[in-house]
């Protein structure tokens, strides 16, 4: 990955932006796309759209800026913080983790875990709301000088370079999507795409695809490509029964079925073949679980598609992606932006 593009990815991953509190990620994203977009708009909830103006046909590349996390639910008399989840936080990876409470100033803390010596047998995994954060306070009053009920909380993990082109961090879901949307727009601009091309960073995907519902109605592009992480199934003991087999480093996935418009699927696959970009097919028999599910039912129906970035260990502090897949997604989107005028986006009847 080019150094400047990696710096942008690292900047996005350094932000903490749980659902409803996406401003840090969105600010970095808007600054980046403003360098090559003709126009950048932000709506009342923070959904950001960068546009390269072209002819009548328009295509939007979208990712969601939010991540899963937690929220301060209460403060007890001893200064410990009770939690509630934001989005699909995984209760199996919460205890014994460093976290940050995003108050007026960041407050470091840890999620408590009773020492193994003091536990009996194999304890059941507690629900999120049974966990607490220890910020070192000794009283309710001391803690409330630092934090308030409703402050968001995220894991405090950092970006780690693994072997080759692989990275581990929290928040890959879905910083990689907004990175790809921005880079896809930039590469479409470099190709002098005739179409109007939008890059979109939505809010609140993890709590109901909320931002995509707003953008789909307001922007109403002729086609929409949602870029989100998908499950890489090549790690040991990863169940193969619930999803398509997907390899990390094997290229982006193109989903088929349900939400995914056949003409858009066909056009993207043809572009990938022409450009020499490896893609993996993914079955989506009922829904994709991405922003595409919200956009495709907007207005009178917007041809939509989910393109996936293979990701190991989703919704943990150690999500792993391959930057070769990210570059491939960005190249694919750039080529789609330059080719979408020729796509057949009818029902084919």
Enumerate the known binding-site residues for Zn(2+): 64, 173, 206, 228, 315
Strand order across the 160-161 sheet: 160-161, 166-169, 319-322
Whole-number Cα distances in Å, 30 to 21, 75, 218, 231, 237: 15, 35, 19, 28, 39
Phi-psi region of 205 (alpha: psi -120 to 50; beta: other; left: phi over 0): alpha
Query: Known binding site: residues?
Result: 64, 173, 206, 228, 315
Tokens of 189: 């601009």
Q: Is 145 a catalytic residue?
A: no
Measured CA to CA in angstroms, residue 15 lies from 21, 34, 90, 227, 247 at distances of 11, 19, 20, 19, 27
List 205, 241, 270, 275, catalytic entry: 205
Beta bridge partners of 320: 168, 312
H or E, element range at 64 = strand 58-64
**Active-site residues: which are they?**
205
């Amino acid at each position: 990955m080019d150094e400047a593009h990696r710096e942008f990815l690292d900047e996005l991953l350094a932000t903490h932006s749980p659902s409803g509190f996406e401003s840090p990620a969105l600010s970095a994203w808007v600054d980046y796309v403003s360098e090559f977009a003709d126009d950048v708009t932000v709506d009342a909830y923070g959904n950001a759209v960068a546009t390269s103006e072209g002819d009548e046909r328009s295509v939007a590349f979208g990712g969601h800026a939010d991540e899963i996390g937690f929220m301060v639910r209460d403060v007890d008399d001893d200064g410990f913080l009770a939690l509630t989840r934001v989005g699909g936080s995984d209760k199996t990876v919460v205890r014994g983790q460093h976290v940050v409470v995003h108050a007026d100033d960041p407050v470091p803390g840890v999620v408590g875990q009773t020492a193994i010596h003091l536990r009996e047998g194999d304890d059941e995994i507690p629900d999120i709301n049974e966990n607490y954060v220890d910020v070192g306070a000794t009283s309710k009053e001391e803690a409330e000088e630092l934090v308030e009920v409703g402050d968001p909380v995220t894991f405090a993990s950092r970006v780690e370079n693994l072997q080759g082109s692989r990275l581990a961090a929290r928040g890959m879901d879905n910083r990689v999507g907004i990175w790809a949307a921005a880079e896809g727009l930039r590469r479409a601009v470099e190709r002098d795409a005739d179409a109007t091309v939008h890059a979109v960073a939505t809010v609140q995907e993890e709590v109901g695809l909320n931002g995509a519902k707003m953008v789909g109605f307001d922007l109403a592009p002729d086609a929409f490509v949602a870029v989100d992480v998908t499950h890489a199934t090549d790690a040991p003991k990863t169940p193969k029964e619930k999803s398509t087999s997907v390899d990390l480093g094997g290229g982006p996935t193109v989903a088929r079925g349900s939400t995914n418009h056949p003409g858009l699927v066909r056009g993207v696959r043809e572009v990938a073949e022409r450009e020499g970009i490896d893609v993996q097919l993914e079955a989506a028999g009922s829904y994709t679980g991405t922003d595409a599910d919200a956009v495709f039912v907007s207005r009178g129906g917007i041809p939509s598609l989910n393109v996936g970035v293979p990701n190991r260990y989703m919704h943990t502090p150690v999500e792993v992606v391959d930057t070769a897949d990210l570059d491939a997604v960005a190249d694919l989107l750039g080529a789609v932006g330059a080719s979408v005028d020729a796509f057949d986006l009818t029902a084919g009847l």
